[in-house]
Amino acid sequence: MKDCLFCKIINGEIPSTKVYEDEFVYAFNDIEPQAPHHIVIVPKKHISSANEINSDNSIYVSKIFEIIPKIAQKLGFDKNGYRVVNNCGKDGGQTVSHLHFHLMAGRQFGWPAG
Ligand code: AMP
Ligand code: ZN
C-alpha cells in the first residue's frame, strides 16, 4: 500500500536489517529496540491492524507464528524465552498501521505490561 512505512520496508524502498523473509513474512530489527533482541515481524500483505484479521488473511498470521520459534532458535533465545507483542489501535499504542508483531528477547520482561 502506498504511504505505508512497513510496505515500503518490505519492498526495499526504505532500508531495514532483515532477520527473515519468505513468501508471506518479512522480519527486521526494530529501529528503537526495547530489548537486546527486538524484531518486527510483518505480513507481506498490507493488513492495517489485528482488527482486520479474518479467515481470508489469517494464513499470514499463522505463518508469522510458525516462524517465531525458528527465529528464536536461530538467534539463540528459544531456551530463555521471549515476548511477542501486538499493539492494536490508539489505546494499544499502535504507531504503524500495518499489522506487526514485536518479538523481544535477551532480558526479563515485567507483567502486567504498563
Ligand atoms: P507500534 O508502536 O507497535 O506500531 O510499533 C512500531 C515499531 O516500528 C516501533 O517499535 C518502531 O521503533 C518501529 N519502527 C518505526 N520505523 C522503523 C524503521 N524504519 N525500521 C525499523 N523499525 C521501525
Ligand atoms: Zn503496509
Nearest to 98 by CA among 2, 6, 25, 22: 6
Q: Which of 37, 38, 100, 102 is catalytic?
A: 100
Residue 18 CB-half CA count within 13 A: 11
The set of residues, in sequence order, having a beta carbon less than 8 Å from that of 40 and lying 6+ positions away, is 6, 27, 28, 29, 30, 100, 101, 102, 103
Q: How many CB atoms within 10 Å of residue 43?
A: 23
Task: From the options 3.30.1360.10, 3.40.228.10, 3.30.428.10, 3.10.580.10, give the CATH code of 5-105.
Answer: 3.30.428.10
* Domain ranges within the chain, ordered by starting residue: 5-105
**Distance in angstroms (rounded) separating the CA atoms of residues 81 and 106:** 8
Is the Cβ atom of 89 under 6 angstroms away from ligand 1? no
Regarding the beta carbon of 59 and ligand 1, being less than 6 Å apart is answered no
pLDDT in tens, 41-94: 999 999 999 999 999 999 999 999 999 999 999 999 999 999 999 999 999 999
Q: Please tell me the distance between residue 31's alpha carbon and the centre of ligand 1 in angstroms.
A: 6
Distance 111 CA to ligand 2 centre (A): 30
- Locate 29 and state its grid cell: 530489527
Joined together, the cell numbers standing for residue 38 give 527486538
* CA 29 to ligand 1: nearest atom: 21
Q: State which amino acid sits at residue 21.
A: E
- Check if 102 is active-site: no
pLDDT digits (tens, 9 = 90+) for 8-35: 999 999 999 999 999 999 999 999 999 9
